[in-house]
Amino acid sequence: MTEEQIPNSLFDLQYQQRYKIQRMGFGLSMPLQGRPIAEDGMYHFWHFFRSLPFIKQSIQKKIDSSSREIESQLQKGLENKVFIKNMPEKKWSKEDIMKELNQYLGFGDFAWNEGYVSGAVYSGNDKELYNLMKEVYGATSYTNPLHPDVFPGIRVMEAEIVHMVASLFHAPKAIGTVTSGGTESIFLVCKAYRDFARFEKGIKSPNMVIPVTAHAAFDKAAHMLKIQVKHVKFDPKTTKVDIRAMKKAIDSSTCMLVGSAPAFPHGSIDCIEEIGKLGCQNKIPVHVDACLGGFLIPFMEEAGHSVPPFDFRLPGVTSISIDTHKYAYAPKGSSVILYREKIHRHYQFSVQPDWPGGIYGTPNLGGSRSGGVIATCWSALLFHGKEAYVECTKKIIDVTKYIEDGLRKIPHIHIIGKPEVSVIAIGTQYFDIYRLSGALTHKGWNLNALQFPSGFHLCVTQQHTKEGVADKFLKDVQDCTEEIMKQPNLPTTGTAAIYGMAQQIPDRSVVSELVWTYLDACYSIKTDS
């Protein structure tokens, strides 16, 4: 399906709906928060509306049935499990622990190590790598980089990670830190720019201007750091941030601009060059979120695929976040944040000079950390080297293009935007797209649901580069779509229906409550209830 054929009905409706909701004053980063902004007039209206007995009952009924659905999904397959609910009086033997552990690892229906899962695990069952990680972690798990004097070797490894990653992004100097993941990198960069704005420019109520497609971690950080978020719409054709809207959103209290390379939802790279220019013109720092693509985009040119400019070679770019625990294939728990200027990193640091426990300074959010995470990340980088990363990138981008081409040939679905790296988003104008993602779940696939517009995506990892996986995916999408098109108007059932329903609820705090239920359910073991 060509771009001109992308429908305007459902796609635009949902898209506009979101903006209407925001214009109506439902709060900008509200979907992530438990409550809408309390002083908001519309909130009171909806709150009142919701409290009407009939409405309340019908909303509550929907929430209850969705909650039950969610809980039963989480408990699936554990019906006969006897859970550990009390601390054992006596210690367990190693054999018993390992036996239990292996049983737990067998829970679940998704064959993540056979290519059935989007994102999540980026490496491809590389035995040599896994064994190396095991050995390295075994040798370093009890080290603590909070004490560089006690563990000088871990400190050096951490500094070397920053230098190696900085060299890939043409950073003028290797100014950065290692963090526990993308969310922490983003949190810290927001803190750095907020404090920079406050102490260097006297901005008291800072805001950040970010694409609506920027990762939810920005909203999370902004909420905690009390930074206002101005979400900027994207061009529905390209899914890249609308640069004119971004320009318009900037004001004298803007402390940072953000572009993604690529963005999580649809895999497009925002026009970083243009955002950089806006940053230069307005003297505002520009952060490039390359958490996802950080170990693909620097290698794409050499892997034979063109990529728009994204790094420190663009003068406006002042920081970049890169997750080493994604396409650098390090175990989970590491990411890197890089800055152009030392002053920005200074504002990232936390210093407490008056604490009776000593003068306390830390580069990131945590205090004590595991040196094992640093050591495994460091050795994953050395184990691959540039050559292997280029090779992995080539395989991943080739398979992404192959899947994209295959999907474009399947009638009644379309690609949302234009995949530029490793993510492919799928939508349709012919039926409820969550019926398709639900049908694929039944076939063993675990994909990511998207909203505004409705869709789902596949984030291609090394798992999908294995023989037959891409073709199996294409065949399943084709078969499921054909099956759905026999009766395109049937309602969606099961958990897949919750997404469609959630998009229709104007009061986003209702959706947030549903998420609370889900998160609560994650901590429940059946015998609790």
Q: Would you say 331 and 145 are in contact if contact means Cβ atoms under 8 Å apart?
A: no
- Residues 262-291 contacting ligand PLP, CB under 6 A: 264, 289, 291
Find the farthest-apart pair of alpha carbons in the chain and give their distance in angstroms, rounded. 72
Size of the site for ligand PLP (CB under 6 A): 13
For residues 192 and 480, which CB has a smaller minimum distance to ligand PLP in the complex?
Answer: 192
- Residues 329-348 contacting ligand PLP, CB under 6 A: 335
Q: Is residue 260 at the binding interface for ligand PLP, with CB under 6 A as the rule?
A: yes
Taking CB atoms, the residue at the shortest distance from ligand PLP is 182
Q: Is residue 219 at the binding interface for ligand PLP, with CB under 6 A as the rule?
A: no
Q: Which two tokens stand for residue 154?
A: 């871990």
Beta bridge partners of 337: 177, 321
Q: Interface mask (CB under 6 A) for ligand PLP, residues 185-204, using x and -? A: -x------------------
- How far is 330 from 323, CA to CA, in rounded Å? 9
Output the smallest distance, CB 150 to ligand PLP, in A.
Answer: 28
Mention every residue, 6+ apart, whose C-beta is less than 8 A from residue 380. Answer: 129, 133, 324, 328, 329, 330, 331
**Contact region with ligand PLP (CB under 6 A), list: 47-55, 178-186, 188-196, 250-258:** 178-186
Output the smallest distance, CB 316 to ligand PLP, in A.
Answer: 19
Output the smallest distance, CB 247 to ligand PLP, in A.
Answer: 23
Output the smallest distance, CB 183 to ligand PLP, in A.
Answer: 3
Q: Is residue 183 at the binding interface for ligand PLP, with CB under 6 A as the rule?
A: yes
Please give the C-alpha separations between residue 58 and each of 49, 50, 51, 53, in angstroms, as whole numbers: 12, 9, 11, 9
| Strand, helix or coil for residue 360 | strand
For residues 157 and 330, which CB has a smaller minimum distance to ligand PLP in the complex?
Answer: 330
Q: Is residue 292 at the binding interface for ligand PLP, with CB under 6 A as the rule?
A: yes
Output the smallest distance, CB 45 to ligand PLP, in A.
Answer: 34
Near ligand PLP by CB under 6 A: residue from 36, 124, 145, 181? 181
For residues 119 and 371, which CB has a smaller minimum distance to ligand PLP in the complex?
Answer: 119
Q: Would you say 262 and 417 are in contact if contact means Cβ atoms under 8 Å apart?
A: no
Cα first-last separation, the chain: 49
Q: Is residue 154 at the binding interface for ligand PLP, with CB under 6 A as the rule?
A: no
Near ligand PLP by CB under 6 A: residue from 27, 124, 176, 182? 182
For residues 422 and 441, which CB has a smaller minimum distance to ligand PLP in the complex?
Answer: 422
Please give the C-alpha separations between residue 53 and each of 41, 47, 181, 441, 453, in angstroms, as whole numbers: 21, 12, 45, 37, 32
Q: Is residue 323 at the binding interface for ligand PLP, with CB under 6 A as the rule?
A: yes
User: Pick from 507, 510, 451: which is nearest to 14 by CA?
Assistant: 451
Q: Which amino acid appears at position 130 of this protein?
A: Y
Near ligand PLP by CB under 6 A: residue from 215, 231, 340, 414? 215
For residues 1 and 292, which CB has a smaller minimum distance to ligand PLP in the complex?
Answer: 292
CA dihedral 226, 232, 233, 237 (to 10 degrees): -130
For residues 52 and 224, which CB has a smaller minimum distance to ligand PLP in the complex?
Answer: 224
Helices 508-522, 496-504: inter-axial angle, 10-degree rounding: 150
Helices 469-486, 433-442: inter-axial angle, 10-degree rounding: 130
- How far is 448 from 93, CA to CA, in rounded Å? 40
Near ligand PLP by CB under 6 A: residue from 189, 217, 377, 410? 217
The contact set with ligand PLP (CB under 6 A) reads 181-183, 186, 215, 217, 260, 264, 289, 291-292, 323, 335
